[in-house]
Every structure is written in structure tokens, then in C-alpha cells.
Amino acid sequence: MVYLGGPRGRNGTRSRGICLHDPPPGYHRPRTGTPLRIRQRQARQEWLLLRVTTVVLVLLAVAMAVFIALMIAGYR
């Protein structure tokens, strides 16, 4: 029997989960006991990657807008 956690309810509590008698193909039990320090480090790395990606994409969008504006101004 495999228990898959169900969706969160409105007040943050778990509602009834999904119970399967046979696990789906390729299913592996989630690892438990990952130290808090490692999870926090991974969360910081993901946060940093997200911020760097956001800044790069914003800068690319601004550069593209300036390039298009210069092309339009040069066309006249």
C-alpha cells in the first residue's frame, strides 16, 4: 500500500490522501531525514538562481526594447 499525500485544505491541513494498493511504475519512497541545514542550503541556492535569472531576463528585455527603439529611430 502506497500513501500519496493529498492536497492541502483551506486552513493548511491535509485532506484525505490517495492510497494505492500497488505503487506506480518507477515510484520510489521519498527520502526522509534530510538534514535541515542541507535543505536550507538548497533553498538558498534555488532562490539565488531564481533572482539571477530574473535580473538577466529583465536586462535582456530592456536591451531588446532599446535596440528596437534605436532601429525605429534610425529608420526615419
CA 29 to CA 23: how far, in whole Å? 10
Q: Is the dihedral of CA 51, 45, 26, 19 positive or negative?
A: negative
CA 74 to CA 76: how far, in whole Å? 6
pLDDT in tens, 2-54: 666 665 666 666 566 667 777 778 877 767 777 889 889 999 999 999 999 99
Average pLDDT over residues 62-73: 96
Q: Say whether pLDDT at 1 is over 60.
A: no
